[in-house]
Structure 1
Amino acid sequence: MLAASSRRSMLLAKQLTTKSMAGRGLQQRTFFGLDMLKSFLRGDKDKKLKVEEIKQNIIVEPTKIEPESVPEVYVPREQTPVSYSIGKYARLADGSVMAQWGNSMLLTTVVSEEKSGEKQDFLPLMVDYREKYYATGTIPGSVKRREMAGTDAEILKSRIVDRIVRPLFPKGYCNDTQIIATVQSYDIDHDPVVLAVNSTSATLMTSNIPWNGPIGCVRVCAVDGRLVCNPTFKEKQRATLDILYAATANRTVMIEAEGHEISESDMEKALRFAHEHIQPIIAEQEALPRKEKRSFVPMKVPEDLAAAAKGLIPELQTRLSSLRKPTTKPQRQALENDCYYFVKQQLFKTHADLLLANKPLLDSVSHDIVQEALRANLLAGIRVDGRSTEELRELNMETSLLPIVHGSAVFTRGDTQALCTVTLGHVDQGLKVRSAINDNDDYELKNAMLHYEFPPYCVNETGRLGGVNRRMLGHGALAEKAVVPLLPPVTDFPFTIRMTSETMGSDGSSSMASVCGVSMALLDAGVPLKTPVAGISVGLVTGGDIYDGQAPITDYKLLTDILGSEDHYGDMDFKIAGSKDGITAIQLDVKLPGVPLDILCEGIERSKATRLEILSQMNNVLPEARPINSTKVSSSTIVQIDPSMRGALIGTGGSNIREIEAASNCTVSCKEDGVVEIFGKGGENIALAKELIAEATFMYRRGQRVDVVVQQIMDFGCVVVPKFAFGKDSAMDKSKQAFIHISEMSHTPIKKVSDMLYTGQTLEAWCIFSEKDSAKLSIKALHHPVTGAPLSDTEALQLVREREEERRKLRSASGLSNDSSPRTHRNPSRRPRHSNHSPHNSS
């Protein structure tokens, strides 16, 4: 009976749950009388519930929604017009904008729960950027012909939008929020990422969600020595510097940059150029119509509790500065835990009842007060590990750690440690990057890639292995941008290069440790880098209200080589990588609503000295690239064949080339222009492959010395084949057979061919005629006509030319035209053979 009642209760709850309609505006609530509910749970057959009775007892309480205007706004931009259609599409979302720039169109929507779920002190923001295949008029190549999970490129672009908009949400706003940016139409000359950022800002500005925008975004490239804002696709391909820049009217929020060793001064000029060009975008968004922002209730801290917590700051400052370098991360973590315990212990003495009933409040207050104490120390120039604000942690480097791996290195900076490896492969093993906006079968392979891993043990935690999260993709992409500009081109170094970085310990800026470690692993593998590359992270701590994005920042400290705790409690993580000659990659992440550009330029200058110091120590360990170890690394060799012999090399269905690969243990690829690439380990294997390729593509060439073997003796000459083909099936191939006439065997007359040659005899001959499947050789052309002494190739060629000149003169003397072919010329003095007037038939 109890089980039946439970099942009925579940059924009732499932079928009659209150439904939310019209975006939470219209709600339908259903109630039942007590007697009817009891009858249903008992299963009383005499008092069955009827549908009509249920309907009569339904009470519907609709909530009226005042219709909001749905304006469509067209906003012109300086160069190319951009239109924002606000609220016209996806009307049920809290905010929606269809933005168009050129022929690129992107729909951005934002939805935020009106109330946060569990009590929390962070913003659960999810940003998804998606590219639809129909945006380019193509059908997906997947099995089901539909878009699948987000690609790596889409995830990286989602991270860009997330990092830009997240710092501008107000403090204490912790409601679940989701932003979806979908590329609906793609124009190759109008960057959808720039459009996604600007349309997301416009969507948040025109929605009722609290947000302290607007933000403007541009892409700036250095093309042919000049700065170009929002370049075309072709201009971007020629660029030596590519910056994606986002900012408010007076503060920078995000930077993504990659370049070919750009000087610090040129980088600063490009950033200021970008900041100038976002001002019209921000002005356009300021003019957009807006909804009234919804109110929210942040986690409130009672005034007496806040005062009690602030009174603990001096003691916390003393405790946090008690360690002296060198320190380890476990020591600092233990110190921070002691500080948290101290705060909670002191607050419990006066506010036990409040804090026992509200654990999130206790955790939030403890975190904030420890953060405030640590930041106060940093502003005073006191770091938790005892270093100065410009001091680098101790470095340690190892190379050739793994004996079988092509190249390996371990880079250690403090407690941050990265194991980096390099594997060299065939150029055809490159990665073919495809996406909805780039699904061309002729797309160039990506022959250099860097994969970053962050296993749980690197922070002394347990967790699930497998898969790649957004953070790993982002860190790997940044390190890849830093290293790739210094790699040799594929034409000079025909390998696919896979670089990996496995974080073995994380205590701040593991991505920059990856840059340093991968650079050394590349040199260890024998990759001729233009110059080594290193990276460093610069942090920032500011005084005053960090959530005030308008007040000028006057009290601040830049921190070189930040720790994990300085990253967590600080305001900025400014990663800068480059060589001794300039910057190759930059990434800026901020926690406060932007950083003034002047402070960032100061950070760029600060990073240069530290980068050069790291490069100096790297150079002491491994000053240049090692020679490639042929026993570990497969090498590549190029062989040129006659394009007409490509079919002979490949064979029917690829049979010939597979036999060559199996015999030589090499990979062989042949292009249409006759360029054959051999890729394999060991010089012997490559030499064997070259020999087999030469045999498969052998053809007689006029004016060439060849080693042949007599295959068949005839009365008027002999048939010969190349030495490698004698006794094999290929000896029956017409293209391998050649003929030596008896008159070409010796300068002195011979009666029988068998008097001079025998079957199986090896000899040298000179090719005097060659056409498809037909060749004539000469033995006497390689011997002096008087002395019989052997001739060199040059002498033999001269002798053949003299003989041809004598024949030309004889033809001229007999009335033959020099321009006529002896095969087609007919002597007009001779009559046809079938004529009755033939001299042999005359009486």
Structure 2
Amino acid sequence: MNVITKTVSLPDGRTISIETGKVAKQADGSCMLRMGNTVLLATVCAAKDAVPGTDFMPLQVEYREQYAAAGRFPGGFTKREGKATDNEILTCRLVDRALRPLFPSDFHAEVYVNVILFSADGVDQPDALAGFAASCALACSDIPFECPISEVRVARINGEYVIDPTFEQMKNADMDIMVGASKENIMMVEGEMNEVSEQDLLGALKAAQEAIRPMCVLQEELMKELGTDVKREYCHEVNDEELREQLRKETYDKCYAIAEAGDHDKKAREEAFDKIKTDFAEAYAAAHTELTEDELEEKNALIDRYYHDVERDAMRRCILDEGKRLDGRTTEEIRPIWCEVSPLPMPHGSSIFTRGETQSLTTCTLGTKLDEKMVDDVLNKSYQRFLLHYNFPPFCTGEAKAQRGVGRREIGHGHLAWRALKGQIPEEFPYTVRLVSQILESNGSSSMATVCAGTLALMDAGVPMKKPVSGIAMGLIKNPGEDKYAVLSDILGDEDHLGDMDFKTTGTKDGLTATQMDIKCDGLSFEILEKALMQAKRGREYILGKLTDTIAEPRAELKPQVPRIEAFDIPKEFIGAVIGPGGKIIQQIQEESGAVITIDEIDGKGKVQVSAPNKESITAAISKIKAIVAIPEVGEVYDGTIRSVMPYGCFVEIMPGKDGLLHISEIDWKRLETVEEAGLKEGDKITVKLMDIDQKTGKYKLSHRVLIPKPEGYVERERRPRPERRQRPERGERQNNREQRRFEHRSNNNDFHDPLAPREPKDFNDSLDHNND
């Protein structure tokens, strides 16, 4: 084995080691990454040739966490890892977005990157290391790749930027950013923030760039040592330069004219662009009748690829040279916006947000604690009270195809919107909240439409948001070798597809809450990033004004169909009394009241939530719970239930689980020989007054007769005073008294002799016996 190990240090002194040549040697490239007790294996394999007809980069990134890494069993019946979790999919996307732009544009072989977590102690966060491990595996291979990259997490803790913070450190962070970069350029950004400024975000990106640079240098050294700095040769494209030139000459001006016309209608614009390509293909086929059907099909595939480049160049030049975009807007102009709240009658909250040709219909549902989502990942077992789901059906882009389920894109877009909004829902809000965004139309920035529609739906539902949140997607046009560039606000789908950047930011009026950036060019200077952020801020503020014009603040009252929730605290020691043995008491309360009750122990208190469709059920449940946790007070009157009857009285339950003795003499003013004489039996209701609580035993003394009028002429029967009881001595004193009485008894007996006193011998034999003794 030719085992090579490289080590790089983080700013705080912790180290990350990369080892290759020891395991998974049949892969094209593999490495084992270790940081403390966290260990990941990254492998990469690429097909030798491309699948015929492939004109894109078929990259597949997988990130999986083994439960054994944390010494845990997987949940579920099968007790083995199943499909990827949302957390694993989100990590895959982070790695994919950083790697994909760095493969050559003409490389079309299938590439599979696998990253597996094999060991984790819950201290360091493994998802921040996956991108570094994946890039190292590529560096160990001969797969064509532009340059090494790495990824780090940046958190701001007490005003300081921390690289790859631990789980414990993250508890005090107000910024959580994942950054992917090469030695010189930022490639990918995603994260959430607690209303920070644009300058704070730029500071985090600069700190990440400094930390990533030595990781890239390490990989360059590794490639030279392994000899993988020379990559494999490949030929995945067959080109016809004459056809390329002819197509460009005949179609470029026509494409430029459409781009310059600024048609606001997406479909009309698409049809116009498609007509140019179709007309050229038909003319080409008519002029080359000598081509066979298969040859003509190959030429048509080339025409599709070349025409895409022409369309891209025409759109970009129109923006750079004339400042005109495909739909006629200027670079900073926002598409027309209209909003509506409560378009649906029965959801707890609903809204429609439309910006240009992108539209989201979002609903908000309020539930109880029982509706929380349980997260059971390898290193995270928790509950989520705020959920956001994003759906992108094919009809929203006019496609005629089936919807097969939730894809990685839906999970990623929904997660970004979730990050944008979650910090604005108060911790003390007792409801579990679920937003569902249905994209009904899409032409760019549907995830940002989800953020805006989500804000409206939350306020429509009466969720007391701290501040409303808006979002915008920014684009960039920058040709290689040119200083001229254009930053675009509120990009279209084509501007995302044909442009160089998709930079999404969300925030309140006071700062950023989430961001996501992907770039396709060689890199961005911090000057361009700053310009994009400040331009995005102006756009967000404009959109935020449109939202607050529609609904200025959260509704003061919940809608009638929303289940009501009352939350209160009880002493910790009463939790068991409310639940009862096997849940008997709480189930009985729920059955009798019709309410749903949950109890959790938090911060040394019992946190109780009572929910029901109506106020009466909540009131009934709360009264029963408070009766259990209440402490009886002397002098108070209670409506009790007779639980048992004895010859000397009866036991009455004055509160759940609290019984007192109603003595036969306290039932009525007249003398009773038996309890039955008063007509009382088990299960009867009776009003009693608590007269006394025995301080030693805690027993309750009850009376009923004090609550009824005293008969006229009633004379209280004189009771003879009980003789004063002789106080019993303490145990030690009683033992001494017994010994004293025994001694006195023996002293009066002639046979008793003090064993310590000498005795006179009666005769000679007695004397001998005494001496022998």
- With normalisation by structure 1, the TM-score equals 0.77
Q: Which amino acid aligns with 2:93?
A: R
Does residue 335 in structure 1 map to residue 259 in structure 2? no
Q: Which amino acid aligns with 2:598?
A: S
SS of equivalent to 2:529: helix
Aligned to 2:187: 253
Deviation at 1:413, TM superposition (A): 0.6
Aligned to 1:39: none
Does residue 373 in structure 1 map to residue 298 in structure 2? no
SS of equivalent to 1:76: strand
Does residue 591 in structure 1 map to residue 527 in structure 2? no
CA distance in 1, matches of 2:260, 2:288: 28
Deviation at 1:784, TM superposition (A): 14
Aligned to 1:447: 385
Deviation at 1:303, TM superposition (A): 3.0
SS of equivalent to 2:261: coil
CA distance in 1, matches of 2:107, 2:401: 29
Q: Which amino acid aligns with 2:176?
A: D
CA distance in 1, matches of 2:20, 2:635: 77
Aligned to 2:597: 668
Aligned to 2:659: 736
Deviation at 1:226, TM superposition (A): 1.5
Deviation at 1:744, TM superposition (A): 11
Among 534, 554, 561, the alignment partner of 2:483 is 554
Does residue 274 in structure 1 map to residue 237 in structure 2? no
CA shift in 2, pair 1:75/1:718, >3 Å: closer
Aligned to 1:302: 240
Aligned to 1:463: 401
CA shift in 2, pair 1:144/1:529, >3 Å: same
Deviations 1:518-548 (A, max 9, x none): 111111111111100010000111123xxxx
Among 490, 502, 514, the alignment partner of 2:438 is 502
CA shift in 2, pair 1:298/1:145, >3 Å: same
CA distance in 1, matches of 2:473, 2:133: 30
CA distance in 1, matches of 2:214, 2:337: 46
SS of equivalent to 2:354: strand
Aligned to 2:618: 686
Cα contact 1:308–1:347 (8 A) shared by 2: no
Q: Greater CA deviation, 146-155 or 628-637?
A: 628-637
Aligned to 1:63: none
Residues 284-299 of structure 1 aligned to structure 2 (within 5 Å):
284-288=218-222, 289=225, 290-291=227-228, 292-299=230-237
Among 684, 697, 701, the alignment partner of 2:632 is 701
Q: Which amino acid aligns with 2:210?
A: E
Deviation at 1:298, TM superposition (A): 4.2
Deviation at 1:100, TM superposition (A): 1.5
Aligned to 1:413: 355
Among 504, 526, 531, the alignment partner of 1:575 is 504
CA distance in 2, matches of 1:400, 1:409: 6
Among 103, 109, 131, the alignment partner of 2:65 is 131
SS of equivalent to 1:221: strand
Aligned to 1:344: 281
Cα contact 1:251–1:593 (8 A) shared by 2: yes
Among 297, 300, 305, the alignment partner of 1:364 is 305
CA distance in 2, matches of 1:511, 1:477: 9
CA shift in 2, pair 1:293/1:704, >3 Å: farther
CA shift in 2, pair 1:823/1:582, >3 Å: farther
Does residue 512 in structure 1 map to residue 430 in structure 2? no
Deviations 1:591-640 (A, max 9, x none): 23433332122111110011001111110111111134363111222355
CA shift in 2, pair 1:203/1:699, >3 Å: closer
CA shift in 2, pair 1:636/1:714, >3 Å: closer
Aligned to 1:656: 585
Deviation at 1:485, TM superposition (A): 1.1
Cα contact 1:706–1:764 (8 A) shared by 2: yes
Cα contact 1:339–1:370 (8 A) shared by 2: no
Deviation at 1:339, TM superposition (A): 3.0
Does residue 220 in structure 1 map to residue 154 in structure 2? yes
Deviation at 1:340, TM superposition (A): 2.3
Aligned to 1:29: none
CA shift in 2, pair 1:588/1:779, >3 Å: same
Does residue 197 in structure 1 map to residue 131 in structure 2? yes
CA distance in 2, matches of 1:182, 1:215: 19
SS of equivalent to 1:707: strand
CA shift in 2, pair 1:99/1:720, >3 Å: closer
Cα contact 2:663–2:703 (8 A) shared by 1: yes
Residues 677-826 of structure 1 aligned to structure 2 (within 5 Å):
677-694=609-626, 697=628, 701-703=632-634, 705-708=636-639, 719=650, 721=652, 735-739=658-662, 742=665, 763=687, 765-769=689-693, 774-777=699-702
What percentage of residue pairs aligned between the two structures are identical? 33
Q: Greater CA deviation, 498-507 or 708-717?
A: 708-717
CA shift in 2, pair 1:98/1:675, >3 Å: closer
- With normalisation by structure 2, the TM-score equals 0.84
SS of equivalent to 1:481: helix
Cα contact 2:562–2:613 (8 A) shared by 1: yes
SS of equivalent to 1:411: strand
Does residue 314 in structure 1 map to residue 253 in structure 2? yes
Among 451, 454, 457, the alignment partner of 1:521 is 457
Q: Which amino acid aligns with 2:344?
A: L
Among 415, 430, 435, the alignment partner of 2:377 is 435
SS of equivalent to 2:527: helix
Aligned to 1:96: 30
CA shift in 2, pair 1:295/1:721, >3 Å: same
SS of equivalent to 1:444: strand
Does residue 265 in structure 1 map to residue 199 in structure 2? yes
Among 165, 174, 177, the alignment partner of 1:231 is 165
Aligned to 1:477: 415
Among 59, 76, 97, the alignment partner of 1:163 is 97
Aligned to 1:62: none
CA distance in 2, matches of 1:466, 1:713: 65
Deviation at 1:341, TM superposition (A): 2.3
Aligned to 2:178: 244
CA distance in 2, matches of 1:710, 1:126: 70
Among 469, 487, 490, the alignment partner of 1:533 is 469
CA distance in 2, matches of 1:646, 1:770: 25
The alignment's C-alpha RMSD in Å is 3.5
Q: Which amino acid aligns with 1:161?
A: V
User: Is there any run of 5+ residues in structure 1 with no aligned partner, and where?
Assistant: 1-68, 545-550, 786-809, 836-843
CA distance in 2, matches of 1:636, 1:714: 40
